[in-house]
Amino acid sequence: MRPQQYQAKRPVTVLAGTYGHPLHPVLVTVPIGAWVTSLVFDIASHAVHPAGFLAQGSLWLIAVGAIGAVLAAGAGALDLFAIPEHTRARRTAVLHASVTEGDCAAGRARRTAARRSEPCSCGTGSAVSCGLLGPRASSTSARPGW
């Protein structure tokens, strides 16, 4: 291999893999999968009796998703620092981080409403319908090329 090819294989950050690929895109699959499955469990709990096992599973999935989100955010922050400033890629990454933080704020509102058994504070009226906003915001924040 030529020296330029070896340089391309060096990771940009500590969390990058052997070939320098970012870890953030891999880690975000954990919270997305956990939270979407939690929503499915919540909806299914209205159709099954007794529904306690689905509610318990949903709570565990929310916790797994929160831990995965913290890990993905850390990896994403390290990736963000590796992007040169004043570039389109940097603006896209900052917008992505901002929208994702808004999604996390909506998730905190959903959890607070569910804990209190009150209508969700996001304006939709119920915790389940508010829960449908999370995947929508996640898919919006993941849109590439803004």
**DSSP secondary structure of 56-82:** HHHHHHHHHHHHHHHHHHHHHHHHHHH
Whole-model pTM over 0.95: no
pLDDT one-digit tens code per residue, 40-99: 998 888 888 888 888 889 889 988 998 998 999 888 888 888 888 999 989 998 998 888
pLDDT one-digit tens code per residue, 3-51: 666 665 666 556 666 666 778 888 989 988 998 998 899 888 888 888 8
Percentages (nearest 5) of helix, strand, coil residues in the chain: 70, 0, 30
Q: Please, are residues 127 and 114 in contact by the beta-carbon 8 Å criterion? A: yes
Query: Regarding predicted confidence, which is higher, 130 or 76?
Result: 76
